[in-house]
């Protein structure tokens, strides 16, 4: 993949905005987004929010928000049906700590959405 060297040297810092297409040069390619996620997931912090958006050019993308204020933007994922892009979105959301059943239901039935989860170790109020 084109961006391997850039990612190996990447120092992830609080507040960064990481866009997959800046590293591999592709937009809208599911495998490239999955590759990018696998390269950075251990370095960005715990994911606590996921938001599927559609930009002004009708291009969907997923933003993952972390406890370290890092945002990971994946342009090869989409939602609203059961295809390859949405299936990859469900896989990544599940890896990121979201309930797999809820992720699948949300992704397959909505073109845009927001999912939130509590960070590990944060008590739930009764």
Query: pLDDT tens per residue, the chain (126 residues)?
Result: 566 667 778 889 999 999 999 988 888 899 999 999 999 999 999 999 999 999 988 999 999 999 999 999 999 999 999 999 999 999 999 999 999 999 999 999 999 999 999 998 765 555
H or E segment at 94? helix 84-95
Q: Give the contacts of 122 (CB within 8 A, at least 6 positions apart).
A: none
Inter-CA distances, 34 with 12, 92, 118, Å: 18, 8, 24
CA 21 vs. chain centroid, Å, equals 13
Lateral strand order in the sheet of 71-74:
17-19, 71-74, 60-66, 47-54, 113-116
Q: Give the contacts of 123 (CB within 8 A, at least 6 positions apart).
A: none
């Amino acid at each position: 993949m084109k961006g391997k060297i850039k990612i190996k040297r990447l120092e992830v810092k609080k507040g960064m905005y990481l866009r997959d297409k800046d590293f591999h040069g592709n937009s809208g390619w599911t495998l490239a987004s999955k590759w990018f996620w696998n390269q950075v997931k251990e370095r960005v912090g715990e994911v606590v929010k996921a938001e599927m958006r559609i930009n002004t050019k009708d291009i969907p993308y997923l933003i993952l928000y972390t406890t370290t204020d890092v945002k990971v933007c994946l342009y090869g994922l989409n939602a609203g049906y059961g295809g390859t892009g949405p299936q990859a979105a469900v896989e990544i959301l599940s890896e990121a700590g979201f309930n797999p059943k809820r992720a699948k239901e949300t992704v397959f039935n909505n073109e845009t959405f927001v999912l939130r989860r509590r960070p590990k170790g944060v008590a739930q109020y009764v």
